Structure 1
Amino acid sequence: MPESLVNEGSLMRDALLRNLAEMNQFEIVTLHDDRLQPPVLAAHSLAVAPGQFNHVFTEALASVELVWLIAPETNGVLLELSELCYASHDKGALFLGCGFDSTLIGTSKTLCFEALQEAKIHTLPVYAGEDLVAGKHEQLNTENISVWVAKPEDGAGCEGIELFDSIDDLTHWIKQDERYLTYLAQPYQAGVAASFCMLCRNGKAWLLSCNEQHITRESNHFSLSGITINGMSAYWQRFETIARKIAKMLPDALGYVGVDVIVDTAHGDKIYVIEINPRLTTSYVGLEQAIDYNPAKLIMDCVLNDKFSMPNLARKQVVIPL
């Protein structure tokens, strides 16, 4: 299990459990990998052996009223579990998450790029690994891009991201072990790594926080060392405009959505949308302290209430070390 994903996933889960416990309305059941300790805040936690998760999860869905996922896009996990939740809806388990289209687009970096382009939202071009192997790298050699990034098509966080100083180095790497089947390439964009958290419902968006991501580079890898919630509040209005465009682009986005961006401070603060995460993100961990409101209650109200309206929220800065 990737250490960074285990750490961030556990932090998100425990923050969500604290918020749900504060509401004092639910009996909480969780599932945990049997290589990890069960969470202390759940009334029941089912230990799951590797390879058995979907089976145990499907059985658990039959006995609950509401289901909330914390899962990465990696290897299609988020999409697969979301589909199990959609299928269980007729049996009474209501999924507190995004619809199929939003989840699919958020899971696929290629589909996300295409959707953002069509919605006229600034993003970075995407080149399929297969195209590079087929000879497109020679054409890209002429585009004067000095640094390239390789990413898994359905990766999460900084996992699996590699940096290269030339398109030739990237192409050589992506040819090995048939990586071109699951990886894509993008030009590296310098700037401030940032994100925002928002609520979505029926094509509408409400901004929750504007965050700075503290990403460190070690050799040709990246790692997330922390997040400052509302560290990018100066960009609130611009992030809110982007949030509303994304909500219109993804009408079945529901509840919490996190969006990763890069702010190019060297060229007029141009904002590039990098990823859309149709799920809880690590920023959730500091959200209650930042907005002075229980975010689980807020998200559930957004999902369950046809007449949802956003209360007045604080915009405090909160640092989450990772």
Structure 2
Amino acid sequence: MKIFVGEYICGGGFAELSTDQIPAGLRQEGESMLRALVEDLSEFAETTVIVEDRFGIKFDRSEVVSFDSDGHLWAQWVAAAKGCDAALVIAPESDGVLAKGVALLRSSGIEVVACSGDFLRVASDKLLTAQLLHAAGVAHPTYLANEDDRMSEQLQGHGRYVVKPRDGCGTQAIQTFSDLDQARQSMCDNSLLQAWVSGKNVSIALLSSGAYQTFLPAVSQEIRPSGCRYIGGCGPLDDDSQRRATALASRAIAAMPPTARGFVGLDLILGDQSSDDYVIEINPRLTTSYVGLREMIHGNLAARLFDLETGPVSCKATVDSVRWKPDGTVTIDSPAVA
């Protein structure tokens, strides 16, 4: 099997910017996901990876294609992926980048392990996600957008609010406010305002090969309060939190358009009790939690995308024993157990 892997930031997406103009956090997370995924894929397949030479990224067991900064991004990805059995794309939802990249590769006859176009469209737009989840009765924060103010009265008195881009990636460009009027004044056409929900920041990933779906262990996300910046994660969660996270994520995925495929990350808030649990976002792509998840389970997560490993996921780590940072650094606090 031969598999192409493209990660947007390392693979030419920001070629027109100097290195110091690229958000350090995004580049760190992009490279850490790329390295982890390619390492797992290389255990059972030949891999082709496209990267910019200036980043100095090396892979021992992969064919590396150098990105030409004078060339067209997607044309180079298509050329590098030709002849591969499948392609995996790691890209942000911002400005429709992920959906466009997947569509262009598919239109060139390349099998992309990613969600359907309809799933990508809804998940990439936080307003569409909010509307769909509320319509389906899935717990999601009260929201407001310039073109949808039906819940404006329900926002009164929450005490804290979040304003974010509808197509934002990760924790980039998120603002928090204690005054609703100030929050509304900060909005633009591409903004979504949400009531702040208190609780534990949790991430859970769905892995879908197309033939079957399985949820991976739920983990906590460490978010710096000032600026809502993602600074890492820890897991796996305890059994009760696992059950609650899986149940809520299952309802969210069932409400989405068909079809989920590849990796889908869901950001949740778990409150004091299950009635206080909320879905915050659905990310139709690989997320940084992957660097920690691969250390928690028996076997190879990437192999499950191609049904080379099947059956229930077996966790080998104790509660909260695996920690990671955005740059891919992973520490294990206690020995794994069988």
Q: TM-score range by the shorter chain?
A: 0.7 to 0.9
Candidates 284, 296, 304, aligned match of 1:298? 304
Q: Percent identity?
A: 27
Is 1:318 matched with 2:335? Answer: no
Change (3 A) 1:143 1:64: same
* Other structure's SS at 1:199 match: strand
Q: Is the 8 A contact 1:205 1:247 kept in 2?
A: no
Is 1:38 matched with 2:57? Answer: yes
Distance (Å, rounded) in 2 between the aligned partners of 1:203 and 1:299: 9
Match of residue 94 from structure 1: 111
Candidates 263, 266, 277, aligned match of 1:271? 277
TM-score by length of structure 1 reads: 0.84
Q: Is the 8 A contact 2:214 2:312 kept in 1?
A: no
Match of residue 111 from structure 1: 128
Distance (Å, rounded) in 2 between the aligned partners of 1:4 and 1:48: 24
Change (3 A) 1:48 1:292: farther
Match of residue 177 from structure 1: none
Q: Which amino acid aligns with 2:314?
A: L
Return the offset for 1:270: 1.8
Q: Which moved more, 1:7-16 or 1:72-81?
A: 72-81
Match of residue 78 from structure 2: 58
Change (3 A) 1:11 1:130: same
Q: Which amino acid aligns with 1:245?
A: R
Q: Is the 8 A contact 1:79 1:104 kept in 2?
A: yes
Distance (Å, rounded) in 1 between the aligned partners of 2:125 and 2:148: 17
Change (3 A) 1:147 1:291: same
Return the offset for 1:189: 1.1
Match of residue 34 from structure 2: 13
Candidates 108, 122, 126, aligned match of 2:143? 126
Alignment of 1:187-202 (within 5 A): 187-200=195-208
* Other structure's SS at 1:112 match: helix
* Other structure's SS at 2:281 match: strand
Q: Which amino acid aligns with 1:212?
A: S
Match of residue 217 from structure 2: 209
Higher helix share: 1
Change (3 A) 1:203 1:297: closer
Candidates 163, 183, 187, aligned match of 2:191? 183
List per-residue Cα deviations over 1:155-190 (Å, max 9, x = no partner). 11100100111122123322xxxxx12111111111
- How much is the aligned-residue C-alpha RMSD, in angstroms? 2.5
Q: Is the 8 A contact 1:210 1:233 kept in 2?
A: no
List per-residue Cα deviations over 1:265-294 (Å, max 9, x = no partner). 2x6662100111111111111222101211
Return the offset for 1:142: 7.5
Count of residue pairs brought into register by the alignment = 300
Distance (Å, rounded) in 2 between the aligned partners of 1:82 and 1:252: 14
Q: Which amino acid aligns with 2:81?
A: L
Ranges in structure 1 where 5+ consecutive residues have no aligned partner: 175-179
Return the offset for 1:257: 1.3
